[in-house]
Amino acid sequence: MGIIMVDNNIERIGVLTAGGDCPGLNAVIRSVTKTAIVEHGWDVIGIEDGFLGLIEGRTRQLTYDTVSGILSIGGTILGTSNKADPFAFAVEKGGKLIKEDVSQVLIDTCRDLDIDAVITIGGDGTQSIAGRLAERGMNIIGIPKTIDNDLAGTDVTFGFDTAVGIITDALDRIHTTAMSHHRAMVVEVMGRNAGWLALHAGIAGGGDVLLIPEIPFDIEEVCRVVDHRSRHGKRFSIIVVSEGARPAGGTQVVKRIVKDSADPIRLGGIGKVVADGIQERTGIESRVTVLGHLQRGGPPSSRDRVLGTLFGRKAIDLVAQGKFGRLVAEKGGEITSSPLADTIGKQRLVPRDHYLLDTAISVGTSFGVKEL
């Protein structure tokens, strides 16, 4: 594909990273900045700490040199925040924390800085905000980021491949100690409402039981699998649990509430619940490992570096063509785009008829239920 020459009178663009960090963010920032400069000669303004930077007016210019050498670095050079929903921004008044709509502040800041378009790099929360800002007239392009791979409108998000690799490596290491001590080892991974991480890494790491949010589990069935393995020569078991998994008829385990966040619920602890349940019912010694933010850290995989670069280039093409209110996407192996409006309030979950579920079952993996 040749260079997109249409520029729609664009002279300056802004780019921000919002929500949780993940590997590949810098690869996207680099691609956006270099493509904008090399192909169009645009100025690129880096917005610090996500939407918070636009609310507080904290920005800095990005140049070809400032983004050189960041391709392999994890995190984001721009910083990020998951507490800055401009439509529900937490402010303290009269000793009380209230939520205010400050979206007009963002629009005014972009106008004052002569920013013609903004590229938002983030997950479902970020792109839902971007979609609402687009409805208010802002020129916005979204780029899908999240290790959970749960963003509607795209088949895959960057950061997911790296996280799967990190979890798989952890499972390989836990496997050997589980064998040595004849234990049931529970590994809690991220995945609030979507089980893609546990599903992919669980299959890659040889998990014996995979518990995901989409399939409420029966602890008795989990114990039956572990006990059966123990009685038939497999004196250890690996159980991979999404943080959002829950027992049938039960609720997700909430670790804490962050009151000033747009998404205040923080999950965590289901791994311990499962491990305790196994040990109490079977007598098999059980341990839990919570991988937590390890899954988000470190350098991106080669797949995420390439995907991030492709996404950044596509975002600039869309800006040049004046196709705003779009989310860059990969669908069927093709880099394309979908309406940002399609992401608002939606998540991409694991469907019950997904081929990976059948594949896992075919090699003896359990999902903590007798039948799907």
Nearest to 216 by CA among 358, 370, 347, 368: 368
Helices 196-204 & 355-362, crossing angle to 10 degrees? 30
pLDDT band for 221, please (50, 70, 90 cuts). Answer: very high
Answer whether residue 6 shows pLDDT above 70. Answer: no
Report the CATH fold assignment for 162-296: Rossmann fold (3.40.50)
Asked whether the whole model's pTM tops 0.85, one would answer yes
Please provide the DSSP assignment of 220-285 as one string: HHHHHHHHHHHHTT---EEEEEETT--BTT--PPEEEE-TTSSS-EEE--HHHHHHHHHHHHH---
Answer whether residue 232 shows pLDDT above 70. Answer: yes
Other beta carbons within 10 Å of 316: 29
Report the CATH fold assignment for 12-158+300-343: Rossmann fold (3.40.50)
pLDDT at 1: 43
Summarised one tens digit per residue, pLDDT across range 83-130 is 889 999 988 888 888 889 999 999 999 999 999 999 999 999 999 999
Eight-state DSSP code of residue 27: H
Summarised one tens digit per residue, pLDDT across range 249-305 is 999 888 777 666 666 677 788 999 999 999 999 999 999 999 999 999 999 999 999
Provide the annotated active-site residues: 148
**What residue spans define the domains of the chain?**
12-158+300-343, 162-296
Whether 12-158+300-343 and 162-296 share one fold: the answer is: yes
